[in-house]
Structure 1
Amino acid sequence: MAALVVLALAACSREPEPYQQESYVFGTRVELTLYADNQALAARAAGAVLADLDRLHRQLHAWALDGELAAVNRALAAGQPFTPSPELAELIAKGQRLEAQSDGLFSPAIGALVAAWGFHADSYAARLPAPEQLAALLAARPRLADLQAGSGRMVGRTRAMQLDFGGMAKGWALDRARRQLLKAGISSALLNIGGNIIALGKKPDGTPWQVGIRHPRRGEAMASIALADGEALGTSGDYQRYFELGGRRYCHLIDPRDGNADCRVQSVSVLARPGPDAGLLSDVASKPLYFAGAAAAANYARRFGLGGWLLIDGRGEAWLGPAMQARLQWRLKPAVIHLTGTP
């Protein structure tokens, strides 16, 4: 997860005041800024969005004992079928499609691997999982594609499958929130859920929303970018949930292929084009680019139809396509920048 900082711009005195509200869901901070005809409308719209996010947080929390997802994971561990709610069924269907599209570099079925590394806890110890535990989980090869459906019920192929939608729920929720705001009559807003951010319209003065991309080793913006209506930006980085042991950094981004939590890349930011799943793509697409690395990042960016991407490798060097290069405004420019072919 990453923190995208909204870059505040001075507004002229005749412009309406923005309505801002914050919350904490999906284990991360939520920031909502919107403009409305009046503050009462703004408060109702923001309150409805945040209430829905809070409900989804309780429902889809991977390690809370009283949510739907926790109950589903208990059923999977026992080899029992389950009936998903409409929201969970949608996440599973979209997750299966994106898992296949990413060649398995993104998979919501590796919750047991996440737990083995200790990242299912709000606070975690600097320890490595037991090698035999990792070997057993990798041998089971849990994949979301192995969920079998019939008559509205689902069952897993292996009891090693544990669902964790931490790599897609924030972006999926962005798309839901955007639809809610538009239905409520809000056409100018910026929503940030733990570093995944989506824009609605423009600011009242006609300028686009400006956001910053955090430097992975400094607590400030590395670059800024203007978002068009409906565009979404997301970042996956090794600097939020991580620990260091023996001089090495291990982060919550776990490679489904080998169960490795080594942080070989510092961060990946992706720009999703406007569309019904723009928020979802801004969350998911950063993972295959992260695990594929600089050599194959452009291929996956093209496969997901991204509007741009930026990768900061383990040495702090930047890799990006020409579309992103044309839109970025550097603030802390890397010493070495590699410009690739597409996009």
Structure 2
Amino acid sequence: MFLRIVLLCLTVTLVGCSRSAVHQQEAFVFGTRVEVLVWGDDAERAQQAMGAVLREFDRLHKAFHAWKPSELTALNRMLAAGQRAQVSAELATMLNDAKALAATGDQLFNPALGKLVALWGFHDDQFSPRRPDPAALQALVSSAPNMADVHLDADGVASDNPDVQFDLGGYAKGYALDRAAAILRAEGVDNALINIGGNVMALGRKGDHPWQVGIQHPRAPQPIAVLALYDGEAIGTSGDYQRYFELDGRRFSHLIDPRSGQPASGTQAVTVLVSPQAGAGVLSDVASKPVFLAGDAWREMAHRYGVEMALRVDGDGRIAVTRALRARMKPFGGIEIDQVVD
């Protein structure tokens, strides 16, 4: 679903990544491959901590699934019926946070857009290439469900708009990164790398060096660039090349522009790197969506979220990068950067 980050110490394209003290566990959760790497000599502690992280990922996946039975789907049913719903303290906190983050980006980050995502067929493990019914699509665009329609208080969650249907796919992976970091630190692990389908967070270092990751090119089987990731930093990515279908010579991705109701065009991929801070995982996951949807205004949108390190591949494959990120990365395999911006 997201622009995949290549964890370079797991590929054969680079050398020098010692495996002697890297412990790894992986699983398939959130509809993608996830992996946890721990650097250290205590193998038993590493395995215990990684197992705890993967169990937490499984819990979050089941609790907040967008279309299989979950707390989230139960909430959506009640909102569709015009009812106020009580939710767990955890979900209430997530929705409050998501509402504030949506307002920052003029609702381009819009987890209330689940009906539109489903209409395009992306609420299915095996989606098929088809356009939605034009009348149903226009009705949802006109209804314009967004997080401003959502009200949260001590009495629960309510909506002014019966078309509000939550899909936390653009938030939950970042939330899971933050939860993983907290679990690892509580288990006494200070050096680790967490990868959830391209959403990545680093803890500490890999031995004497920072963790090295590569940003995958959206149209080529190689990274765009290699960069070092330091303690507490998180990468969030959005791309049109993982969860998509092709029809009549066009690519339709799951990244839907709420203004038009259409899968976004004009951008192939966006990567943002968020500095260490509380909620860095969530911010990295969320910010990549409005930056992707903003098109040529991507840099201004990144500024809104306080993101100084970002990269965009436009619809024609031209690569633009902020000056701050360009200073951190090494282009890979002859890939050229077309534009550096402040």
User: What TM bracket, shorter-length normalisation?
Assistant: over 0.9
Which of 121, 124, 127 pairs up with 1:124?
A: 127
Residue 43 in 1 paired to residue 47 in 2?
yes
State the SS of the aligned residue for 2:72: helix
Q: Which residue is 2:298 aligned to?
A: 297
1:332 positional shift: 4.2
Q: Alpha carbons of 1:17 and 1:319: their partners in 2 closer, same or farther (altered >3 Å)?
A: same
1:11 positional shift: 4.8
1:307 positional shift: 3.6
| CA offsets 1:205-234 (integer angstroms, 9 cap, x no match) | x20000010010123212111011100112
State the SS of the aligned residue for 1:5: strand
8 Å Cα contact 1:111-1:161 kept in structure 2: yes
8 Å Cα contact 1:142-1:160 kept in structure 2: yes
Amino acid of the structure 2 residue aligned with 1:293 = G
Q: What is the CA–CA distance in structure 2 between the aligned matches of 1:144 and 1:54, rounded to whole Å?
A: 26
Residue 150 in 1 paired to residue 153 in 2?
yes
Matched positions, count: 336
8 Å Cα contact 1:317-1:334 kept in structure 2: no
Q: Which runs of 5+ in 2 are unaligned?
A: 10-14
Report % sequence identity: 46
Q: Which runs of 5+ in 1 are unaligned?
A: none
| CA offsets 1:253-310 (integer angstroms, 9 cap, x no match) | 001111110432100000001011111111111111111113x111122221114000
Q: What is the CA–CA distance in structure 2 between the aligned matches of 1:174 and 1:278, rounded to whole Å?
A: 9
8 Å Cα contact 1:31-1:192 kept in structure 2: yes
1:335 positional shift: 4.8
Q: What is the CA–CA distance in structure 2 between the aligned matches of 1:319 and 1:172, rounded to whole Å?
A: 28
User: Please, what is the CA RMSD of the aligned residues?
Assistant: 1.4
Q: Which residue is 1:337 aligned to?
A: 338
Which of 168, 176, 187 pairs up with 1:173?
A: 176
Which of 195, 202, 210 pairs up with 1:192?
A: 195
State how 1:94-113 maps to structure 2 within 5 Å: 94-113=97-116
1:16 positional shift: 4.8
Q: What is the CA–CA distance in structure 2 between the aligned matches of 1:298 and 1:324, rounded to whole Å?
A: 12
State the SS of the aligned residue for 1:58: helix
State the SS of the aligned residue for 2:3: coil
Q: TM-score, normalised by structure 1?
A: 0.94
State the SS of the aligned residue for 1:162: coil
8 Å Cα contact 1:223-1:333 kept in structure 2: no
Q: What is the CA–CA distance in structure 1 between the aligned matches of 2:185 and 2:310, rounded to whole Å?
A: 27
1:334 positional shift: 4.5
State how 1:124-273 maps to structure 2 within 5 Å: 124-204=127-207, 206-273=208-275
Q: What is the CA–CA distance in structure 2 between the aligned matches of 1:332 and 1:88, rounded to whole Å?
A: 43
8 Å Cα contact 1:249-1:262 kept in structure 2: no
8 Å Cα contact 2:264-2:293 kept in structure 1: no
